[in-house]
Amino acid sequence: MAQAPALPSGFELPLEPRLPRIGSVDQVAVEERAAALATRSIKRESKLFALDLAVRMMDLTTLEGADTPGKVAALSSKAMRPDPADLTVPPVAAVCVYPNLVPHALERVRGSGVKVASVATAFPSGQVPTELKVEEVARVAELGADEIDMVIDRGAFLSGHYAKVYDEVRRVKEVCGRAHLKVILETGELGTYDNVRRAGLLAIAGGADFIKTSTGKIQPAATLPVTLVMLEAIRDVYEETGKRIGMKPAGGIRHSKQAVQYLVLLHETLGPEWLTPDLFRFGASSLLNDVLMQIRKERTGRYQSPDYFTID
Which residues of this protein are in contact with another protein, per CB under 8 A? Answer: 1-6, 17-18, 23-31, 33, 39-47, 49-50, 53, 191-192, 232, 238-240, 242, 263, 267-268, 271-273, 275
CB of 241 to another protein, least distance (A): 8
Q: Which of 146, 248, 290, 312 is catalytic?
A: 248
| Catalytic site includes residue 297 | no
CB of 281 to another protein, least distance (A): 17
Separation CA 161–CA 146 (nearest Å): 30
Quick one: how far is CA 302 from the chain centroid? 32
Residue 96 β-bridge partners: 61, 117
Q: With beta carbons less than 8 A apart as the criterion, state whether 275 and 53 touch.
A: yes
CB of 15 to another protein, least distance (A): 12
| Catalytic site includes residue 217 | no
Q: CB-wise, 39 or 88, nearer to another protein?
A: 39
Q: CB-wise, 46 or 100, nearer to another protein?
A: 46
Q: With beta carbons less than 8 A apart as the criterion, state whether 28 and 177 touch.
A: no
Q: Which of 212, 236, 290, 312 is catalytic?
A: 212
| Catalytic site includes residue 212 | yes
Q: Which of 149, 236, 290, 312 is catalytic?
A: 149
CB of 111 to another protein, least distance (A): 28
Q: CB-wise, 37 or 93, nearer to another protein?
A: 37
DSSP notation for 118-159: EE-SSTTT--S-HHHHHHHHHHHHHHT-SEEEEE--HHHHHT
Residue 109's SS3 state is helix
Angle between helices 27-37 and 256-270 in degrees, nearest 10: 110
Q: With beta carbons less than 8 A apart as the criterion, state whether 164 and 155 touch.
A: no
Q: CB-wise, 23 or 155, nearer to another protein?
A: 23
Quick one: how far is CA 154 from the chain centroid? 17
User: Which residues are designated catalytic?
Assistant: 149, 212, 248
